[in-house]
Amino acid sequence: MTLTKILTNTLYYLAQITTANASADRMSQDLAAPDAVSADTLSSDGTAISWTAPADNGSSYRYKLKEISADGSVVVESDEAGATVTTGVDRYIVLIDENETASASAVKAGGTVSTTPSFDISGLTPGTNYYVHIVAVDKAGNESAVSDAALPDPNAVAPIIATQPVDETVTIGENAEFSVAVSAPQSGISYQWQTKVDDEWINIADETSATLSIESVTAANDGAKYRCVVTHTVGESHESTISDEATLHVVYPVTVNIFIDGVPAAAPGAVTFKQGEVTKATADSSATGVYASSLSNGTYEVYVNGEDIGVEVTVDGAATSADAVNYYTVSYAVQDSGLATGSTVSATAGGVSIASGAVVLAGKPIVITAAGAGANSYTYLWSGDGTNGQTTDTLSVTLTGKINALGTVAGSNSYAVALNTNGGTINSGHITSYDYGAPVALPTDVTRANATFAGWYESEDFSGDPVTQIAASATGPKSFYAKWTNTVTYSYNYSGAGDYITQPDALHGAVPAFPNAPVREGYSFVGWYKDAAGTNPWRIQDTLTGDVTLYARWSAAAYSVTGKVVDDTAPTPNNVAGATVKMIQGNVQFGTTATTDANGNFTVTGVPNGIYNLVVTKDDRSVTLYVRVNNGNYDFADEWIVLPVGNKNSQLQVKGADTPSVVVDGLNELFNDPNSYTNDDRDLVANGGTVVINLEVEKLDENTADGAPELRTLAAGQTIAMFLDMTLSKRRNNDAPTQLTTVGSLLKIIVPYDLSGKANVAVYRYHAGTAETMTKLAYSETAPASEGYMLDTSGNRIIVWAQNFSTYAIAYTPVSSSSGSSGGSGSSSYTITVNESKGGSISPSGSISAAYGSSKTFTITPDEGYVIADVIVDGKSVGAVGSYTLSNITGPHTISVVFKKADKADKGLPYYYNDSGKKVFIGFASDRSGTMKYIAPPGETVLFQENPKSFTDIANHWGKSYIDFVTEREIFVGTSDSVFSPDTGMTRAMLATVIGRLYERSYGPLQTAATHTFTDCSDNNWYCSYIDWSSEKGIILGVGGGKFEPNRQVTRQEMAAMLYRFAKFMKLSTEIGAGAKLNYSDADDIAPWAREASLYFQETGIITGRDQDSFVPEGTATRAEVATILKRFIEVVV
């Protein structure tokens, strides 16, 4: 009989009792039968089996335990030899595992039990099936009979996963592998691998082993997640355990190429990839100069030897290579020459000291400095790779190639000598250096017209005694200044107000003592001038260099400036009497000189219209203010002028005879700027000291202006009219002035400048080692929020708003009187005959001589009541155009125009009234065909009316007829009521606005989305709605980063592209004939994205190009050019 029990707490137990051949009678005689052995008497705590025999009525028993197989047959029976029969019971236990394999080590001997034997089997392995056989044997060796017991069916248990799958990082193309291992149970186990798709786990077909292999991973595998479901099965019973999930990370090969002196080479340190401060990988060298690693998708900074080399590499689903990294060898040495001995040399790269032969990253600033030794003075010469014959002690270069610099230091006992002749000439004996140890005579053969040489002085102000020689003991460089003495005669011509007045003789170089301002009935005195025509003023800093006559200049329209000067005594200021008041423009005085009376009042008369600095001085105190006289007397009224009790002085100095008459506003306000006037300055003034803030403006030439080469480069293609050195400084008492390179408030600096005939006038600045373009601001009397410049075209002035003071440059593009220009080969010229016609005019007219190869533009203007019917060139009609250009003239031509009277219906321009009752002139309107044609919004009543505009700056401009065309239709407006600014560059915002205005006047109001397309356009911008509409219609494009750059000037190729997209939006035919190609002389310079547009406008004649048939794609499109192109565009449409 077999008795079986399978417990369900992960361990399996089988208790089997076998009945032998002994009869029941014999067992009853020899051995009292024990109670039945029930399976329920087996127990387990998960790792051990316990059993206790039932009560035996006081009898002694011996138990033998047999090992049996799963089918119930005996495999091993324990040996009874040596068992104690009379005194106890021996216990033998044999275990076998679920694979029916005997385990000898599991056999355990029992102890002596007198009445109730029991055993414990411990140390079992969880998840393994064990079978236990228990037999009761009497003393005669007969097995006892026991009763049977029923047992439940066996069940499956959840497997125990001993080894979980882990994340794998695999290079694309290689194999990946995930695995699990089960510790129990050991049989009946199955596997199913799964992957996660859209947040759901799905089975992977045919992946039913303990290992999942993925061959040749691809980018699609990156980030994939995997897990394994492990199942134990017993009959119909199943229990599963799910493994941890693991992620597959796919990485991609990344290479970095290192070059030293242009040759692949080992990097000067480890090559690593970082994201922020975290190192993601280290590259290994796979070949000379080639460093490879594998990285996941993302952007990484490349580091070499722990240094960020400024190279980024972006991995995006494929192998990639970083930009080549260039290093160069920096070698340097010094050699002595002449008297120099022991000279030294050192070098830095990016401010860090380096040894000769160091390998340095390209782009770093290299500074190599030689220091002479062994002599009194030295000259330097650099030679070798990376040098250019520099002659300073320091060689500074940006590393772009190998450097092998040799500095030659020539030592001598010579020192430099500078002889400043102050306008004189050294005829003989000139010296430029002297040697230590021997006296050297200074030249005496020095002459100057109308002056007598009075000796050399070491001080520029000629203090001390004159010097005749350099002493033998002298050292160091020397400077000497020539002093001149002479007397000159200067006279005043009162120019109609009286006779000449001759002043007493004055020393050469002195400032003349001006007489009292003359008086002339009906006129105001303007000032003293060097010429009778009154065009060259005597400047307040001019000195006498010879006999001179000064002329009074008068103005029939001059005004007075009246005010009151007080001090800053608190709480009640005191009147300042005896102060001098002048009106100064640059360094020229205008009007009379006034002196304040006892009440502080003054009146300066004879001041013409203009802008001035009113300068008030008394003793050592001065204040400089801004005044504008405009067709009337100027009265400060209750705005008292404060001349501080403390010595706080502000002054403007305009140096040089050809420096413009600059005027400044806001100079005195710098005493409210803590950056300019500090607490220490306040304490100094409070204790009786003096603080002077001085703005000095001087026109310099290109050879002397700081930063002139950089400014010239920045203003490429433009004419630089002048360089102005603007130096702002502060002087405390008699200390040397300190420069105020940057202040906390804006100064308004007004520079007189003739703006006529100049386009694209711009202001550039060189400050702190950097050349930059100043921001052009819309003209306004109100101070802007930040630095920039304004163009006052009506007053011919440039207003510079500045907080930084250094070198400024004014540049412009010259504008010719016509759109053509002379070129040619040789001296041949041809006659162009212009035939006059009734009803209008052609300009130029008559017989025109044109050089070979040149161009000539003719402007056609109909008289009142006439329109252009046709233009005929060399007998062929070119249409009713408002202008025509003969290009590349190689022979004679004739041109004539047919005018016709305008029909009444054509009289004026078409317009309608919008919903607000405002008159709207139609943009798409043209009478080119002889009849006015137009496109009006549906349902509008169209009327006609002339709508002329009057601009003061287009009368003689080549684009006048085109400008009239677009402004009469109000597509364009002027930059002011009277100024159009034809040669000013068109901004991107302006062009978008013009396109939008043109469209809405014929097709109705524009509809745009509530949100703005670009981040740099807001509801506060006048152009925003037009930019939004143009963007939504695909007419304009941004510049990237969500920006449009509305205030940047539009280039000619950008203009062509925008208008071409507008033509497509209008559904105009943009087909171009087969074989058509760009004929502009600079066609190769047109960007690929603009070539189709440029060809369309070339073939339609809308854009004819600039001089010499050039397109100038990167050139700025001027307002006149856009007006011209729009007129032609409109005429194509209607």
**998-1033 pLDDT per residue, tens:** 998 888 888 777 677 788 887 667 788 888 888 888
Place 743 in a pLDDT band, splitting at 50, 70 and 90: very high
Residues 712 and 771 in one domain: yes
State the total domains in the chain: 8
* Burial group, residue 623, by CB count within 10 angstroms (0-12, 13-18, 19+): buried
Is a pLDDT exceeding 80 seen at residue 235? no
Residues 756 and 838 in one domain: no
Element (H, E) at 683: helix 679-686
Cβ atoms of residues 373 and 340 within 8 Å: yes
How many C-beta neighbours within 10 Å does residue 423 have? 13
Q: Over the chain, what is the mean pLDDT?
A: 79
Residues 297 and 398 in one domain: no
Provide the token pair at 1022. Answer: 């006048």
463 lies in some domain: yes
378 lies in some domain: yes
Phi, psi of 712 (to 5 degrees): -60, -40
Provide the token pair at 855. Answer: 């161009």
Residues 708 and 853 in one domain: no
Phi, psi of 891 (to 5 degrees): -175, 180
The 3-state DSSP class for residue 310 equals strand
Q: Can you tell me which residue has the tokens 């040619």?
A: 824
CA pair distance 49, 64, nearest whole angstrom = 17
Residues 94 and 231 in one domain: no
Query: Of 588, 585, 589, 583, nearest to 602 (Cα)?
Result: 583
For the segment 260-277, the average pLDDT, to the nearest whole number, is 92
Residues 763 and 887 in one domain: no
Residues 943 and 1090 in one domain: yes
Percent of the chain with pLDDT strictly greater than 90: 32
405 lies in some domain: yes
997 lies in some domain: yes
Q: What is the pLDDT of residues 673-724, one digit of tens each?
A: 998 999 999 888 888 888 999 999 999 988 889 999 999 999 988 889 899 9
561 lies in some domain: no
CA pair distance 789, 774, nearest whole angstrom = 7
Q: What is the pLDDT of residues 452-469, one digit of tens each?
A: 788 999 998 888 999 999
User: What does 219-263 look like in DSSP terms, one character per residue?
Assistant: GGGTTEEEEEEEEEEETTEEEEEEPPPEEEEEEEEEEEEEEETTE
Find the helix packing angle between 1119-1133 and 1088-1100, rounded to 10°.
60
CA 1124 to each of CA 909, 968, 998, 1119: distance values in angstroms, whole numbers, following the listed order: 18, 13, 14, 9
Residues 340 and 468 in one domain: no
Can you give the pLDDT at residue 693?
Answer: 93
For the segment 946-957, the average pLDDT, to the nearest whole number, is 87
Place 509 in a pLDDT band, splitting at 50, 70 and 90: low
Q: What is the CATH number of the domain that holds 687?
A: 2.60.220
641 lies in some domain: no
Q: What is the pLDDT of residues 882-933, one digit of tens each?
A: 678 887 677 788 898 877 766 544 467 888 887 777 888 988 888 877 667 7
Q: How far apart, in Å, do the first and last CA atoms of the chain sit?
A: 115
Residues 777 and 719 in one domain: yes
Of residues 39 and 520, the one with the higher pLDDT is 520
Residues 733 and 877 in one domain: no
Which of 458, 485, 512 delimits the end of a domain? 485
Cβ atoms of residues 724 and 664 within 8 Å: no
Place 655 in a pLDDT band, splitting at 50, 70 and 90: confident
Place 523 in a pLDDT band, splitting at 50, 70 and 90: low
Q: What is the pLDDT of residues 801-837, one digit of tens each?
A: 999 999 999 999 887 543 333 333 333 567 888 887 7
Which of 100-104, 478-482, 923-927 has the lowest average pLDDT?
100-104
Edge-first strand listing for the sheet containing 49-52: 42-44, 49-52, 118-121
Place 871 in a pLDDT band, splitting at 50, 70 and 90: confident
Is a pLDDT exceeding 50 seen at residue 485? yes
CA pair distance 343, 337, nearest whole angstrom = 10
501 lies in some domain: no
Q: What is the pLDDT of residues 547-595, one digit of tens each?
A: 777 777 776 567 889 999 999 888 889 999 999 999 988 878 888 889 9
Which of 292, 323, 354 delimits the end of a domain? 323
Most confident of 330-334, 754-758, 845-849, 983-987: 330-334
- Spatial neighbors of 509 by CB under 8 A, at least 6 apart, are 422, 484, 543, 544, 545
> How distant is the alpha carbon of residue 240 from its chain centre?
61
Residues 1000 and 1102 in one domain: yes
Residues 397 and 469 in one domain: no
547 lies in some domain: no
Which of 485, 515, 532 delimits the end of a domain? 485
CA pair distance 485, 545, nearest whole angstrom = 10
Domain that holds residue 220: 160-244
Is a pLDDT exceeding 50 seen at residue 104? no
Cβ atoms of residues 227 and 246 within 8 Å: yes
